[in-house]
Structure 1
Amino acid sequence: MNWSRIFRLAREMGWLVFGQLAAVTGTLVLVRVLTEHLAPETYGELALGLTLIGLINQVVLGGVVTSIGRYYSIAFEKQELGVYLKASKRILWISTVIILTFGGLCFGGLQFFGYDPQIDFVGPLVLFSLLGGYGAAYSGILNAARLRSLVALHGGVEAWLKILLVLGAVSCLGASVPAVIAAYVGASMLVVGSLYFFLQSCLHLEKKSTENSGEWIKHIWKYSLPFSYWGVFVWAQQSSDRWALDLFGSREDVGLYAVLFQLGYTPIVMTVGTVVSFLGPIFYQRAGDATDERRRGSVRALTWRITLACLGLTGVGFALACLMHEWIFAWLVSPQYRSVSYLMPWMVLAGGLFAAGQMLALKLISDMQASIMTSAKIWTGVLGVSANFYAGSILGVPGVVGALVIVSGVYVIWMLLLARKNFSMKSL
């Protein structure tokens, strides 16, 4: 038995658990802070504004960040880290230009249609999304390099920095959406700056390379394209719940739903995200460039076991939420948000099903088979938008929650079928 490897893996997992506990705890405390200072209508306005960040992340940054993280192990194995890092930096700059152009178009569109109050939000939201993308890319590289402690510490620190800066911003600027966004931007700037410092120190990001990075840019960009293709549909599904409630209900409904989402859906997704962050670099290293069947096969059984564990965790979370939702809302949100606590178990169920689907997606990504998920991502996105607007128009918040459970269930079943087909084909 290789005890040194076991201890190393245990240490890495320990750092990830520590960081995730700090992040989840910070997120829950942040919900308490925000609900104490923001009325449900204002919270709903914040939730709608943050959908712009979701669009940028899904269409531009999401695929780039995933692709950069996936190609680290390939570059390391080929001893081409220098040119890989150079290519990654250039891709991030290209993404920045695209995002700034998009932000300018949003600004012009809002001005043209007379949405003057919303214009002030565009700049900070675009900056926040850019910082988040850079932070995710830097964290992805450090995580792929197995520098887990740095990733964990920065993740935990950012969650608590937001709390401190939100309290300061609300005290100085008043309880408003611009004040909260300013606090978010401040926290991200500090964390991204620190991540960049450690990335330079540990991996020599600025190191000059005499090799041409064009081939690496082409490979990384090409691999990220499917994520952008389906990103529009994924964003539409993930944002349409809030916009449906705003259209057919009220801004207060959006705020209540946003709190419900953060307390029920987000924690279990973040918990499973810890496992994905831990296993991702291991899967990538074992699979290499995904041309060796024996290397791919070494992680298949582990994928199924972890997916089943995710589903088991979802069942436990659902049961606990049924028993404790009133107590949880009594501790974590102000009284004006507690009327929707009975829906929390269903949010936990939706989050767990989605997280199990993401676990299966990790295996497909490690096999360099991300493109085969395109149909699943697009059509579940279309289903999600349709279900959100239909159910939201009839039942309001309970309808949108039910739609999320259905779409998450369809997603995990579809990913299960893709994974089984992919495993079967690779076994021939």
Structure 2
Amino acid sequence: MTSNIQNKKIRRLSGEAFVVVGSQAIAALAGLVGLRFITTLLSRESFGELSLAMTAISLIQLVFTKPFSSAVRRFYAVSVEENKLEQFTASCWQLAIALAISIVLLGTCCFLGLLSFSSHVALLCVLAFLVAGLQAPGDMSQSFQVAARNRVVAGVLNFTCQWLRVVGIVVAVLLLTSDSVSAVIGMVGAYGCWLGLQILAFKKLFPLQIDWKIQYEELFSWWKRLSEFARPIAFWGFFIWLTNSSSRWSLEFFQGSEEVGSYAALFQLGYYPMYLFAMCISEFLTPILFGIAGDNSDRRQEFRAVNIGSMSVWAVITITVLVGLLTIFIHPFIFQICVDQSYADTSYLLPVMLLASGFIAAAEVATLAIQTSGTNKQLTLPKITTSIVGSVITVFGAYLYGLQGVLYAGLCYATLHMVWTIFLLYQLRKKILI
């Protein structure tokens, strides 16, 4: 009997792993195909402007969307254990709606504020915030699918989002004009379609008759738990955004939009694949680790979750180093296939970007393992400190050495961030064992 149960678990996990890896591979293919088309259709300067507009979307994602999406993934299993899934779902969707409205209103204010400075910049800004506003409830719904281990639906929606974005940008650029504004308009349409698909999938797979008149005390209780978990993530998310954006904006200030375009191409080829790899592991492990840890009442289960996370971190580091070494020899071939040849002069920097992104991915997996303890407070200091250090050395790198300086500064930041986070993870392991 025990053997049969074990075999069923192995088959289920194998099937889930196959679905997660397959969906992320299709999503990665969308990114590579899109990069080839976009770098061909847009000039390097316009591609640089698009990359700068993406920093506004990234700000909203890191400070507003990701914190609450992470909280949904953490507390979904808890709500099921407590038999309060309906109340949890209602509170999450009310938060998602409020979040989307707030983002769009903030974007409108930024538009009005920037209008006198530059109509082009103002339009890019409001469109970027509109994309973020559509993305927020979609990400919340996606988090439910991941937490509930609806692997196939989550995987299909994930790669559908990536392909919709590529198609949206290409169609908009072809139908309108070959500039950054048209590209972001295409993204607005893509995320609007994706949100519609998310809502349809959510209604089908979570056929709860949500009572929007649930007692305020019940809703407030969940809002408080979600907010307490999300607050540190939002706080350090701003500083992480500052580090990520400083690379683009410092290059814009010291070198110009064309250099930002070169960085964006390297980012898409180097950072994005490793990010998707980390998402693969995160999406697969999140419901498993949080399900094992539960409400943290069982120390053995908590240690088991942390131990699985620790092994995953070392797997990410090993794969990162191997891929980085391989890329040293094949970077010209990768650029020849994936981007317009006007970017080929920067291909030698691809291994640096891959290593940096892989180390960040390892830190994210370590962060996930630490979050099984039910708190984020111990992560605040290292994430903020390393982000500030990263921002400073990135600006100096851009000023002194341009694109090359920014990438090596990013590698230094990623290494420091990874080492500190892994140190915290092993501190947590020792604490649980005591």
- TM-score norm. by structure 1 comes to 0.97
**Which stretch has the larger CA shift, 96-105 or 83-92?**
96-105
How many correspondences in the alignment?
427
The 2-side partners of 1:129 and 1:371 are apart by 26
8 A contact 1:91–1:221 mirrored in 2? no
Give the alignment partner of residue 63 of structure 2, picking from 42, 52, 59.
59
Give the alignment partner of residue 121 of structure 2, picking from 115, 118, 121.
118
Deviation of 1:340 (Å): 0.4
Give the alignment partner of residue 157 of structure 1, picking from 143, 160, 181.
160
The residue type equivalent to 2:7 in the other structure is: W
**Which stretch has the larger CA shift, 317-326 or 101-110?**
101-110
Residue in 2 that maps onto 1:133: 136
1:16 aligns with 2:55: no
The 2-side partners of 1:205 and 1:42 are apart by 45
Residue in 2 that maps onto 1:286: 292
Unmatched segments (≥5 aa) in structure 1: none
**Which stretch has the larger CA shift, 153-162 or 373-382?**
153-162
Residue in 1 that maps onto 2:48: 44
The alignment's C-alpha RMSD in Å is: 1.3
The 2-side partners of 1:283 and 1:190 are apart by 32
Deviation of 1:206 (Å): 5.0
The residue type equivalent to 1:358 in the other structure is: E
Deviation of 1:205 (Å): 5.3
Residue in 2 that maps onto 1:374: 380
The 1-side partners of 2:265 and 2:416 are apart by 24
Residue in 2 that maps onto 1:88: 92
The 2-side partners of 1:80 and 1:253 are apart by 51
The 2-side partners of 1:230 and 1:216 are apart by 22
8 A contact 1:100–1:126 mirrored in 2? yes
What whole-Å deviation, never above 9, does each CA across 1:65-104 have from its counterpart, x for those lacking one? 1111211010011111000000101111232243233213
Give the alignment partner of residue 346 of structure 1, picking from 347, 352, 357.
352
SS in 2 for 1:213: helix
Give the alignment partner of residue 39 of structure 2, picking from 20, 35, 40.
35
**Which stretch has the larger CA shift, 259-268 or 181-190?**
181-190
Task: Give runs of aligned pairs for residues 161-180 of structure 1, distance below 5 A.
Answer: 161-180=164-183
8 A contact 1:69–1:137 mirrored in 2? no
What whole-Å deviation, never above 9, does each CA across 1:160-180 have from its counterpart, x for those lacking one? 222322232122102111211
**Which stretch has the larger CA shift, 365-374 or 343-352?**
365-374
Deviation of 1:371 (Å): 1.6
1:401 aligns with 2:407: yes
Unmatched segments (≥5 aa) in structure 2: none
Deviation of 1:369 (Å): 2.5
- Seq. identity, %: 26
Deviation of 1:53 (Å): 0.7
Deviation of 1:191 (Å): 1.6
Residue in 2 that maps onto 1:298: 304
The 2-side partners of 1:101 and 1:164 are apart by 27
SS in 1 for 2:296: coil
- TM-score norm. by structure 2 comes to 0.96
The 1-side partners of 2:192 and 2:101 are apart by 18
Deviation of 1:105 (Å): 2.9
8 A contact 1:45–1:177 mirrored in 2? yes
Deviation of 1:385 (Å): 0.9
SS in 2 for 1:146: coil
The 2-side partners of 1:373 and 1:13 are apart by 28
SS in 2 for 1:368: coil
SS in 1 for 2:231: helix
* Stretches of 4+ aligned residues off by more than 3 angstroms: none
Give the alignment partner of residue 6 of structure 1, picking from 7, 10, 34.
10
**Which stretch has the larger CA shift, 273-282 or 201-210?**
201-210
Residue in 1 that maps onto 2:316: 310
1:233 aligns with 2:236: no
Residue in 2 that maps onto 1:424: 430
What whole-Å deviation, never above 9, does each CA across 1:202-227 have from its counterpart, x for those lacking one? 11355226453221111111211111
Deviation of 1:409 (Å): 0.1
8 A contact 1:199–1:205 mirrored in 2? no
8 A contact 2:306–2:372 mirrored in 1? no
Residue in 1 that maps onto 2:198: 195
What whole-Å deviation, never above 9, does each CA across 1:311-333 have from its counterpart, x for those lacking one? 11011110111010000000011
SS in 2 for 1:289: coil
The 2-side partners of 1:164 and 1:146 are apart by 28
8 A contact 1:121–1:178 mirrored in 2? yes
The 2-side partners of 1:105 and 1:372 are apart by 35
SS in 2 for 1:298: helix
8 A contact 1:234–1:377 mirrored in 2? yes
8 A contact 1:245–1:396 mirrored in 2? yes
The 2-side partners of 1:421 and 1:216 are apart by 29
The 1-side partners of 2:66 and 2:145 are apart by 17
